[in-house]
Amino acid sequence: MYPLTFAEAASILGKPSTDQTKIEQVIIDSRQATAGSLFFALPGSKTDGHHYVVDVLKSGGYAVVKRGWGQDQRVIEVEDPLLALQKLAQAHLEKIGLPVVAITGSNGKTTTKDFTAAVLGAKYKVCKTQGSYNNEIGLPLTIMSIEPWHEVVVLEMGMRGLGEIRHLTEIAPPQVAVITNIYPVHLELLGSIENIAKAKAEILLGLRSGGSAVLNGDDPLIRIHAAKAKHVLFYGRNGQNQLRAENIAVDGQGKVSYDLRWNDQVYQVRLPVPGAHNVYNSLAAIGVGIQFGIPISIAIEALPETELSSMRLEIEFSSDGVLIINDAYNASPASMQTALETLDQISGNRRKVAILGDMYELGSLSDSAHEQVGVWAAQVCNQLVFVGKNAHLMNKGAQSAGFSSSNIRIYPTVEQLLVELNQFVERQDSVLVKASRAVALEQVVAALKAR
């Protein structure tokens, strides 16, 4: 990580110290503790980090704890360890002075982040969000992982309610902000899609002075909030966008190509991943590259070098030839639709099987959204498998679209599905596996690969 001593960290958090030991890593998991680790004792739903402070200290580490824990030269007592972590990350980033690219949206954040890191990587050394580190805990941990050689940081910013993205931008004010799209995700907490748009648009309010926004100009809800940024580059397919995709084509493997138009120049783009929706994700990344002075031709050449995060339309194969589309990381109605389209595009003559689970936080739209997923799946697949408490709703939608009930299987839990998995997945099938993260359908992918 970027150089930081215990004395510097202690000073930022309000404790005088002369200990010049270099902090080797900032952690919230005591099992990762080594000499020089700085452990933040965060309370969790299952346990409390304070139970493990002694273990951290025994390993030679340091700890940030709530006040009243006890006096120790290697312990910093604060009112709130989480706020302390955020405060330290904010000060650390300000000291480092790296430009920040912040990405939010209802769908496509992670792939856009990965594309953006690849594009910027053509010119800069990039630190990017890893895994699901896009919230009030993960974002400061990403900042604390910045190394001395990094030149720009790309941060994914997630949210579940109003004010959360604004708080993240206070920790890491972006030089460039990206909003990918607005869909009814987290509707259960936010109440309306207009509130979702408002919450996502907080990223624009957090822009640094002179900063710019790269926005999906085809999304009318994003257009409504675009004026919150002084400098805006719109991308999309319609003629009102400065950066446009035209003549989109999808080959037999689902790989996408398109013509990119910018300032009356046309460039050929071929993406390294399946799914026509990735046209938008790649446009956003190229738009960010433009803000950093990267020629479009160089940005396009960098896209195939993208290191994509796992379980996002990840193509894998079983030993007996089953093509697996592992999209088990998360799910929403829009991403379900694009995943099913991708299954259809890449399957060729293979039998198409969709194993679909619950989508969460859809509020009042939940029932109709799950039924609609069943309709979409019926239009694409030969075999349908629905998992979870909303499986009956997807089944209802599929049968309303004329899909035979004899080709539908319903399971309340993943464990019950796994017992019968090999009864309906055949050699050379194409299988889409997708649900919200908590459903844990990655277990199905592992079982298929182990056949």
- Average pLDDT on 177-197 reads 87
Cβ burial of 424 (10 Å; 0-12, 13-18, 19+) is middle
Structure tokens at 246: 């035209």
Strand segments, DSSP code E, in 161-204 are 176-179
Q: Say if CB 92 and CB 77 are below 8 A apart.
A: no
Q: Please report the pLDDT score of residue 22 as a whole number.
A: 97
Taking residues 98-108, report their average pLDDT. Answer: 96
Most confident of 91-95, 180-184, 329-333: 91-95
Cα–Cα distance measured from residue 184 to residue 190, given in angstroms and rounded to the nearest whole number = 9
* The predicted structure's pLDDT at residue 272: 85
pLDDT band at residue 131, thresholds of 50, 70 and 90? confident
Quote the mean pLDDT of the chain. 95
In a 13 Å sphere around the CA of 88, the CA atoms on its Cβ side amount to 34
Cα atoms in the Cβ-side hemisphere of radius 13 Å centred on 123: 18
Rounded to 5 degrees, what angle do the CA atoms 136, 138, 144 make?
A: 110
Distance CA 255, CA 241 (A): 24
Beta bridge partners of 25: 37
Structure tokens at 185: 């995700």
Q: Per-residue pLDDT tens for 344-390?
A: 999 989 999 999 999 998 988 999 999 999 999 999 999 999 999 99
Q: Following CA atoms 272, 273, 277, 281 in sequence, which dihedral angle do they give, to the nearest 10 degrees?
A: -60
pLDDT of residue 443: 97
Give residue for tokens 């001593």.
Answer: 5
- The predicted pLDDT at position 177 comes to 98
Q: What is the DSSP string of 113-138?
A: HHHHHHHHTTTS-EEE--TT--STTH
More reliable by pLDDT, 170 or 319: 170
- CB within 8 Å of 396: residues ≥ 6 apart: 371, 374
Compute and round to an integer the Cα radius of gyration of the chain.
23
Task: Give the lowest-confidence range in 91-95, 120-124, 127-131.
Answer: 127-131
**Which tokens in the block code for residue 61?**
């580490």
Nearest to 394 by CA among 368, 425, 416: 368
For the segment 435-443, the average pLDDT, to the nearest whole number, is: 94
Burial class (CB in 10 A: 0-12, 13-18, 19+), 70: exposed
Domains and CATH numbers, the chain: 6-78 (3.40.1390.10), 97-305 (3.40.1190.10), 314-449 (3.90.190.20)
Here the tokens at position 392 are 């009956």
What is the pLDDT, as a whole number, of residue 184? 82
Cross-strand pairs, 274 = 255
Lowest-pLDDT choice from 132-136, 153-157, 285-289: 132-136
Residue 92 pLDDT grade (very low, low, confident, very high; cuts 50, 70, 90) = very high
pLDDT digits (tens, 9 = 90+) for 263-297: 989 999 999 888 888 999 999 999 999 999 999 99
Backbone torsions φ then ψ of 330, nearest 5 degrees: -165, 170
For residue 78, is pLDDT > 80?
yes
Interval 214-259: pLDDT, tens: 999 999 999 999 999 999 999 999 999 999 999 999 887 778 999 9
Residue 116: exposure state from Cβ atoms within 10 A (0-12, 13-18, ≥19): buried
Instruction: Report the pLDDT value the prediction gives residue 313, as an integer from 0 to 100.
Output: 85
Three-state secondary structure call for residue 311: coil
**232 within 8 A of 212, measured Cβ to Cβ:** yes
% of the chain with per-residue pLDDT over 90: 85
CB atoms within 10 A of CB 170: 11
Determine the pLDDT at residue 339: 95
- Asked whether residue 73 carries a pLDDT value surpassing 80, the answer given is yes
Residue 240 Cα distances to 183, 257, 264, 410, angstroms: 21, 21, 13, 45
pLDDT for 53 beyond 90: yes
Residue 69: per-residue pLDDT = 86
Q: In which band, very low, low, confident or very high, does the pLDDT at 190 lie, cut at 50, 70 and 90? A: confident
Q: What is the DSSP string of 51-87?
A: GGHHHHHHTT-EEEEETTS---TTEEEES-HHHHHHH
> How far apart (Å, rounded) are the C-alpha atoms in residues 1 and 147?
4
Residue 18 has pLDDT above 80, yes or no: yes
Residue 433: alpha-carbon gap to chain centroid: 18
- Tokens matching residue 255: 């790989």
User: Over pLDDT 70: what percentage of the chain?
Assistant: 99
Query: How far is residue 8's CA from residue 378's CA, in Å, rounded to a whole number?
Result: 59
Distance CA 56, CA 35 (A): 9
272 phi, psi to nearest 5 deg: -85, 5
Query: Is residue 441 pLDDT above 90, yes or no?
Result: yes
pLDDT score of 71: 80
The answer on pLDDT for 66 being more than 90 is yes
Closest of 307, 245, 239 to residue 277, by C-alpha: 245
pLDDT-derived band at 45 (thresholds 50, 70, 90) equals confident
